Amino acid sequence: MKTIEQMSLREKIGQMFVTGFPSAEISSELKEVIEQYKVGNIILFSHNIVNKHQLGGLVTELQQWFTAHTGLPGFITIDQEGGRVTRMPKDATNVAGAMAIASSGRPENAYAAGRITARELKALGINFNLAPVMDVNNNALNPVINVRSYGDSAETVAQYGIQMMKGLLDGGVMSSLKHFPGHGDTNVDSHIGLPVINKTVEELEQLELLPFKAAIGQGAQAIMSAHILFPQIDKSGVPGTMSYTIITELLKEKLGFNGLIVSDCLEMDAIKRNYGTAQGALGAIKAGIDLVFISHTPAAVKEAVHLIEEAVAAGDLDEAVIDTAVAKILAYKARYAVIEEPDYAVVGCGVHRRANELMRTETICRITGEIEPVRTGDKQVLFMGSHSYRTDLASSSVNQELSFPQYMGEYFDAAYEMISIDPSEEQMNTALQKAEGYKHVVIGLFNARENKGQLALVQKLLTADCKVTAITLGRPYDLSLIEGEFCGLAAFEYSPEAFKSLIPILNGEVAPAASITIQL
């Protein structure tokens, strides 16, 4: 493995960048930034992935490019949190998300989820998972964290998040906690805006920092920054990612973290619109970030590399800062970026799938009311719902072929009806007419707080002469907006795995064991 002493300035800068590309094959633009700009790391998204065999081959090819043109293996990073944020293909084992896992009441499930995820990632050559989320979801209106968090208490987040982290690390995959110093108390998605949290360090220490401090004490290897303004802590007008006060003084010095510090993507609008992606990269490195993410646009990487080179030449950035960061990167690569042949048999294996199904069944929550069992072939039952729809860019791409009502209707040999994500008055009346004559309507809700037509339809169904089972396939808090007597279940995600987990609950074979408290 190449040493720092053998590297040019550009080669060192290239090691500090992670970038991406838009297809299932390596793009010409990516090849250029690896060859000419010595970028040494990649992030994978759903659009890069078809199936496990394609993914294993892609990762192998990426590592060949990295070793040939940088002399070092690359970090192959991914956001494989589970649940709402899942990038791995259908033929892999995709575990439940954070809030769902925590609702099971069993921290060992978080460890198992991490270990299964790590084994499958490593089997395909992916060595760095940008998980778990350690944000405390203390704002029910949070549009981007919500079910990605283990809960609304620091104790729950620390307990489950640390177990997930340990499962990943024990499985041989680097783990990054996110989003420091806390993204839970926001009502703005930093993908599309710049959130502000008006808390002092002392206030953060009472809640948001607790999970991070606990995880640091338990061997955290990497922590990701948040693009959030903290004007009570840093009055310079830059977000956490670009703040020396937050990254160096708070995280490194006060909390004593000496692991790898990575940025969230600098192409998110919180940075891109307000500061510029290249300036964001320079600001992040000055703040103390070791590894910066420009996750989509190679041209933006080129601009950032040039800007950093110019800053070093002008004396605006000490090359020693770069050397310190690269030394850390190389040390972690020596430990985690070990190139091996793909082991496809591990990915989606029977043992993992059975363990995952059991865990997922344990995550389904009964929030309110009594469950009305659904029997196969029951012609008195109608399933309703929309296609999944996302309001935040952290989610994986929407699968338009996936339909909750169709999935359930076909499984139970029952009637089903598609509705709009935000039905109009006319569409609601049509749905009500369809529901006439059925004794039981099971409706799947997704982002109903933002799409209030779903909630209005449920209220109208409750006035009809039928039982209603409302299932949240996202935030469970949406059930608090429904008035009246109904059965409310929380499944936390819109996915075939969640649908399958609901079946033994709906047909009465299994009583929900999970628990989560929301104000109804």
Catalytic residues: 191, 264
Q: What is the largest CA-CA distance in the chain?
A: 78
Helix (H) or strand (E) holding 141: none
Question: Contact, 226 vs 180, CB < 8 A?
Answer: yes
Give the full edge-to-edge strand order of the sheet including 365-368.
365-368, 487-490, 467-472, 440-445, 381-385, 415-418
Q: Please report where in the chains the tokens 């964290």 appear, as a residue.
A: 145
- Tell me how far the alpha carbon of residue 494 is from its chain's centroid: 14
CB atoms within 10 A of CB 279: 18
Q: How many helices (H) and strands (E) does the chain have?
A: 18, 14
Residue 509: CB partners within 8 Å, gap ≥ 6?
Answer: none
HEC-encoded secondary structure of 260-284: EEEEEECCCHHHHCCCCHHHHHHHH
Distance CA 18, CA 265 (A): 9
Residue 206, Cβ density class (10 Å: 0-12 exposed, 13-18 middle, ≥19 buried): exposed
Distance CA 338, CA 254 (A): 33
Question: Contact, 228 vs 196, CB < 8 A?
Answer: yes
Question: Contact, 173 vs 122, CB < 8 A?
Answer: yes
Residue 368: CB partners within 8 Å, gap ≥ 6?
Answer: 479, 486, 487, 488, 520
Strands 467-472 and 174-180: unpaired
Distance CA 96, CA 176 (A): 18
